[in-house]
A and B are shown apart, each in its own frame.
Chain A
Amino acid sequence: MFQGLSDKLQETFKRLKGKGKLKEADVNEAMREVRVALLEADVNFKVVKDFVAKVKERSIGLDVLESLSPAQQVIKIVHEEMITLMGGATGKILIASKPPTVIMLIGLQGAGKTTHAAKLANMLNKQGKHPLLVACDIYRPAAIKQLQVLGEQLKLPVFSMGQESPVEIAKASLKHANSNGQDVVIIDTAGRLHINEELMGELRDIKTAVKPHEILLVVDAMTGQDAVNVAESFHKELGLDGVILTKLDGDTRGGAALSIKAVTGCTIKFAGMGEKMDAIEPFHPDRMASRILGMGDVLTLIEKA
């Protein structure tokens, strides 16, 4: 399907003989193919519309070059626009001037919050920090135990207070960190739907109580069209500082990345690449763009041209 985009665009532009400028009609046809490719990669419908409009604008009137076919030129534009859209600083946690730095992970059920709380702790620990993991998921069966097991594996401390209210646990964890020399506090929260008002309220209360430096939304890279609704709601309610895109070790195209960045403007900071504790990487917009288009090789060729 996706190797397809390049082929289909070649096909579309085949009629173009010799040099000249790309006409609107040619471009329109090409944009149809681009649109389908993006939708099949799970880029949100509305995002696709705006995105295609932008690419179209840049493509019309383009000089057909000797070195690149029109198809390659259009793909190059698509790729560039994607990188611009998803770009920005990545892979950094903002460390507070006065410790502890408070990080809070939020998101839908099963996205990978608990796993990534532990991965982040591990990463920061390797950078010389002393993280404290905080178990604020009092709902899911064995959620606290899950965090404890991960903490044990990493030999990092986990703060828990059983089924106490999450706001109280979060507050107490800061005190605990202060008196134990822990300079980063990572709060794991329960998975929740963005439309669950009660549970969204709980997150707001935790936020008010501990004023996190980083509120990170954890999103499954396999998410479909709904990614924008989810990200928009969490962003509106809490004000996100960044996103962690998980399960990128799968074979999903990951169009959700583009959608989320487009609607919230939040940078995607990290990519989750597996279940192991070291499977976390800074997010790379250029790789993601190639992935969404499903055409790493084609792009390398274009870049060389």
Chain B
Amino acid sequence: MAGFFAKLKEGLTKTRQNFVEKVEQVFTGRKKIDEDLYEELEEVLIRSDVGVTTSFELVERLRKEVKQRKLSEPSELTQVLQELIAELLGEEVQLNIAEQGPSIILIVGVNGVGKTTTIGKLANRFKNEGKRVILAAGDTFRAAAIDQLEVWGERCGVEVIKQKEGADPAAVAYDAVQAAKSRNIDVVIVDTAGRLHNKVNLMEELRKVKRVIEREIPGAPQEVLLVLDATTGQNALQQAKLFQEVAGVTGIVLTKLDGTAKGGVVLGIQGETRIPVKWIGIGEGMDDLRPFVPKDFAAALFGRADEEGER
């Protein structure tokens, strides 16, 4: 199985050169730590979608560290900055799985980010761990969304609980939870229709889906995962805030990291919401899901993937 970095590397070959050179210039191509260096660093961060505010903050923290640790070599800074970023991203967080009875995972996010695909990948993972999994076709709105989930169900050998197109998503979730309870299922993953966070009635619909799950199993849903597309810019912050408000997001899945986008926006999200990133998506295949490792991500943000080992 191709490792996280091998895959990233594959994806980044074209833009990497340019980018790495730039970073190298920032840190090693100069003799002292000066204003220019900090400015260029800011640029590197902003280009990765980290956002102006968070980029400024990170550079501020770096300045402090430089003073405290009495650093003078620009080449020492890469490490420090990676540490700061990893620290901001927090520890690696495992999925919360119920000790007994079924765990319900609710998948939410705006349109086209990769929710349904991520469900296929997660189902595959759980299945390989020997868990009993079912999927709930809670996207009853988008054309052929149910068929799409069914294809994934077939691929992983997992049953899909569904109703007709146009049905109430909360009713589908209810059916799935009942099925899980009566059939000794370990994990239920609930798909939902893509919805923009600024659409009030669609967000209310989501609230209702969650309420039904809460009512049927105490402590459920064990996870509400917000799927974010790594190509997204600063709007991702709004997405995180509003989905958290309505659905109580417990983790983020950052998809499409196999492209050239860096997904730096999750740094800003960390600063403002503290929702941990739990998984990353690095392709369209069943195996293209990896646990999120803050330290590795921090390195990849700087195009330094080539220097790290395989996972």
Contacts and interface: CB of A to CB of B under 8 A. Distances in A.
A146 B148 contact: yes
B148 A253 contact: no
Interface in B216-274: 229, 231-236, 238, 256, 258-262, 265
Interface string B36-51: 0000000100111101
A251 B51 CA distance: 17
Nearest to A219: B231
Nearest to A259: B233
Contact of A251 (B142, B148, B238, B258): B238
A241 interface: no
A110 B144 contact: no
Contact of A194 (B53, B151, B260): B260
Interface stretch (A21-29, A33-41, A71-79, A82-90): A33-41
B100 interface: no
B232 A222 contact: yes
Chain A CB within 10 Å — which of B14, B46, B49, B111 has the most?
Answer: B111
B11 interface: yes
A142 interface: yes
Nearest to B143: A149
Nearest to B55: A39
Interface string A239-261: 00000000101111101100000
A110 B111 contact: yes
A223 B233 contact: yes
A150 interface: yes
Contact of B49 (A143, A149, A224): A224
Contacts of A150: 143
B299 to A, nearest CB: 19
A62 to B, nearest CB: 26
A42 B233 contact: yes
B112 interface: yes
Contacts of B198: 250-251
A145 B48 CA distance: 36
A278 interface: no
B294 interface: no
Contacts, number: 138
A141 B111 contact: no
Interface residues on B, range: 35 or more
A224 B238 contact: no
Contact of A195 (B11, B113, B196, B233): B11
Contact of A224 (B145, B199, B232): B232
Given A145-B147, A251-B238, A220 B196 contact: no
B236 to A, nearest CB: 8
B46 A225 contact: yes
A193 interface: yes
Contact of A153 (B143, B197, B260, B262): B143
Contact of A253 (B144, B150, B196, B235): B235
A275 interface: yes
B15 interface: yes
B233 A252 contact: yes
Contacts of A145: 143-144, 147-148
A224 B112 contact: no
A79 to B, nearest CB: 20
A40 B144 contact: no
Contacts of B196: 247, 249-251
A31 B256 CA distance: 34
Given A45-B43, A111-B112, A251-B238, A225 B151 contact: no
A44 to B, nearest CB: 8
Contacts of B145: 142
A112 interface: yes
Contact of B46 (A39, A110, A139, A252): A39
A175 to B, nearest CB: 26
A256 B144 contact: no
B26 interface: no
A137 to B, nearest CB: 11
A226 interface: yes
A251 B105 CA distance: 27
A213 to B, nearest CB: 26
A223 B260 CA distance: 12
Interface in A173-205: 193-195
Contact of A226 (B13, B114, B199, B231): B231
Given A193-B260, A222-B232, 14 more contacts: A39-B51, A39-B52, A40-B53, A110-B113, A111-B112, A193-B11, A195-B260, A225-B49, A226-B262, A227-B231, A250-B196, A251-B198, A253-B235, A255-B233
Interface of B: 11, 13-15, 43, 46-49, 51-53, 110-114, 120, 141-145, 147-148, 150-152, 196-199, 229, 231-236, 238, 256, 258-262, 265, 284
Nearest first, the 7 A-B pairs at minimum CB distance are A224-B233, A110-B112, A42-B233, A141-B151, A149-B143, A146-B144, A142-B147
